[in-house]
Amino acid sequence: MTKNAELVELTNKYLIENYGRLPVAMARGAGAKLWDADGREYLDFFAGFGAGGVTGHCHPAIVAAIKSQADMLLSHGNLFTNEPQIDLARRITENAFGGKVFFCHSGAEANEAALKLVRLAAGEGRYKIISFNDCFHGRTMGSLSLTPKSFQKGFEPMLPGNVMVDYGDLDAVAAAVDDETAGIFVEPIQAEGGMNEPTAEFMQGLRRLCDEKNLVLVCDEVWTSPARTGKWFAHQHYGFKPDVMTLAKAIGGGLPVGACVASPKYADVLVPGTHGCTMGGNPLCAAAGAATMKLIEDENLLDRAEKIGGQIVQMIQDAKIPALEQIRGKGVMFGLQFDSEREAKPIMMTCMEQGLLVCIAKKNVLRLAPPLTIADAELEAGMDILINVLKG
């Protein structure tokens, strides 16, 4: 039995099968590459659902920050503070819209914090949240309450009063607002829902509506940030500022970091006793996050995202791929929309057989998210595999 097969068998024995895993055990990563337990090499355009993502695997600067922090202090409890979490919070707020940060470990937890902040800010009697068809905000009961019904099946009842309308339909949002509405949760690109992009008019319209009706506008940037779309935070493409932004996945550079970022107006809503997370902001994960943000700045990865994003679009357009209807996305976060006859899953499986990891975002949408640190030759090698599979 190969090492891979052995680990897959043990996985089936000891781990709950809630993921629909592929029969591969990953053993090692470096930059844009992963190696499985049998030593097989893959180029990673999958990015672990966006989490492994922006800075590639085991970037030396991030690993060095983790090692150095691991020698000093791993955790201490939130009666105290530490330098890495201050550094990370400063880098986030200075590159976004000021305010303050609450740290946790995942996207769902960051959205839970945002939900509680919205309810407190809105005051008694205002509790309803508007979110969007095809959105994804996480699997905990609060964030699941904002996520489409197909994910909620079997777990009802959800938090009451939430309303879901079409992404992009400002009139529907306005019509859904009533005296009990507290806020709106929106993704700047719907990643799990098919890599759907809104217009600037829509996002600015949400901002105006929230100002008029005194609602809290929450931007879920768990997939889109930092830097993946070519801006520090994806809302910056649309010329508006949210009241609250949630982050996770790539912000930890490979370690679990979640963040709920509140603008100055809402920065002091969560006061002692209202919310918490025992290990949130622990120095180890925060040091990895701060090193990630520093790396993005030092290596100018925002420009790199724009550059390789443009190259990818060009290569795909030049290849004249059959059944491809649309390329959607910004920076290095793409959805390839195929016609209804061409499913993304078999493409993903064939790419994997040929040493390229990609992912699906919906039945007919393939998702590409290579790291921004990828070398030009690796990008070309990965795109060659992809284009050959798509044309084959």
The contact set with ligand PLP (CB under 6 A) reads 49, 106-108, 111, 136-138, 187, 191-192, 220, 222-223, 248
CA 249, CA 47: separation in Å to the nearest integer? 10
Q: How far is the CB of 111 from ligand PLP (least distance, A)?
A: 6
What single string gives the DSSP state of each residue in 3-23?
HHHHHHHHHHHHS---S---S
> Could you tell me if 216 and 118 are in contact, meaning their C-beta atoms sit under 8 angstroms apart?
yes
Q: How far is the CB of 51 from ligand PLP (least distance, A)?
A: 7
Closest CA to 214 of 175, 251, 170, 266: 266
> Could you tell me if 223 and 240 are in contact, meaning their C-beta atoms sit under 8 angstroms apart?
no
Closest CA to 59 of 343, 289, 277, 358: 289
Q: Which two tokens stand for residue 85?
A: 């979490």
- Judged by beta carbon, residue 188 or residue 230, the one nearer ligand PLP is 188
Closest CA to 120 of 102, 106, 135, 105: 102
- Judged by beta carbon, residue 44 or residue 187, the one nearer ligand PLP is 187
- Judged by beta carbon, residue 141 or residue 319, the one nearer ligand PLP is 141
CA 47, CA 64: separation in Å to the nearest integer? 21
| Per annotation, catalytic residue among 136, 185, 334, 338 | 136
Residue 252: strand, helix, or coil: helix
What single string gives the DSSP state of each residue in 42-109?
EEESSGGGGTS-TT-BT-HHHHHHHHHHHTT-S---TTS--HHHHHHHHHHHHHTTS-EEEEESSHHH
Instruction: Please say if 171 is a catalytic residue.
Output: no
**Minimal CB distance residue for ligand PLP:** 107
CA 319, CA 389: separation in Å to the nearest integer? 11
- Judged by beta carbon, residue 91 or residue 367, the one nearer ligand PLP is 367
Instruction: Please say if 220 is a catalytic residue.
Output: yes
DSSP state, residue 216: E
| Per annotation, catalytic residue among 36, 44, 134, 220 | 220
CA 239, CA 247: separation in Å to the nearest integer? 19
Closest CA to 225 of 54, 27, 352, 15: 54
Strands 26-30 and 244-247: unpaired
Instruction: Please say if 249 is a catalytic residue.
Output: yes
Query: Annotated catalytic sites, by residue?
Result: 136, 220, 249
